[in-house]
Chain A
């Protein structure tokens, strides 16, 4: 079975940093684009970032550009999101999600999703 398991969330003060990890299994990780999507409490879904299959190309939402860094280790089947200069508005459940397919344009819809990890930015 395809599985994505996030870790690394928690409570952090404004201006602080946190690194999320997503362990992937059940598929050939190195063949797929990966994404992070977040959901603030009681709100809708917001795409955060994307990384291509070999990790050489990354894309970010404007709201996190310059503060967040997506990366991957294909040898460890793991996706990361380094989050710096965190703000209260970054408080959300963060989902790791795989691209629906391994070629364009299926790189940009999401299936499956991890269970999500809560990040709370508060003093």
Chain B
């Protein structure tokens, strides 16, 4: 199974900050990586697929990059609505696996 490791697990930031979350795969997943945002008590919502493709309707302050084993999700200017937990997910091979999550908190 491909292990997905996210860092940091928790991140404290202020509105307007640039935020970067890292996801590392235990073996290459090519560009087959998605990012999700989840708010408390709600279902996850996809932000990015194929490592860098922005899902329709997602604000352009979100961006993704990387390939192979190392990926990043960047929020260019953190907004109040962005305080949530973020997960990466590889879909290169089964079983499909998620990172452990990164909680973005208010500083």
**A-side interface residues toward B, CB under 8 Å?**
35, 44-47, 50, 59, 61-62, 95, 100, 105-106, 108-116
Q: Are B55 and A45 in contact (CB under 8 A)?
A: no
Report yes or no: B45 in contact with A113, Cβ–Cβ below 8 A: yes
Question: What residues of chain B lie closer than 8 Å to A47, measured between beta carbons?
Answer: 89, 95-98
Contact between chains at A105 and B91 (CB < 8 Å):
yes
Q: Roughly how many angstroms separate A110 CA and B87 CA in the complex, as a whole number?
A: 12
B44, B45, B92, B95: the one contacting A45 at CB < 8 Å is B44
How far does the Cβ of B84 sit from chain A's closest Cβ, in whole Å?
A: 13
0/1 interface trace, chain B 87-106, chain A, CB 8 Å (1 if under)? 10101101111111100000
B34, A110: Cβ atoms closer than 8 Å: yes
Given contacts A45-B38, A109-B34, 7 further A-B pairs with CB under 8 A are: A44-B98, A47-B89, A47-B96, A62-B95, A100-B34, A110-B34, A110-B89
Residues on the A chain within 8 Å of B91, using CB: 105, 108-109
Within the assembled complex, what's the spacing in Å between the Cα atoms of A105 and B91?
A: 8
Partner of A44 from B55, B87, B94, B96 at Cβ < 8 Å = B87
Residues B100 and A109 in contact, CB atoms below 8 Å apart: no
Interface band, chain B: 20 to 34
B46 within 8 A of A: yes
For A60, give the chain B residue with the smallest CB separation: B95
How far is B45's CA from A110's CA once the two chains are assembled, in angstroms? Answer: 8
A residues within 8 A CB of B34?
Answer: 100, 109-110
Q: Which residues of A contact B62 (CB under 8 A)?
A: none
State how many angstroms separate the Cβ of A91 from the closest Cβ of chain B: 17
- Provide the residues of chain A in CB contact with B46, threshold 8 Å: 100, 109-111
CB-defined contacts of B38 to chain A, threshold 8 Å:
45
Closest Cβ neighbor of B89 among chain A residues: A109
B31: shortest Cβ distance to chain A, in Å?
9
A44/B43 in contact, CB under 8 A? no
Instruction: For the complex, give the distance between the alpha carbons of A90 and B97 in Å.
Output: 17
**In the complex, A23 Cα to B106 Cα: how many Å?**
37
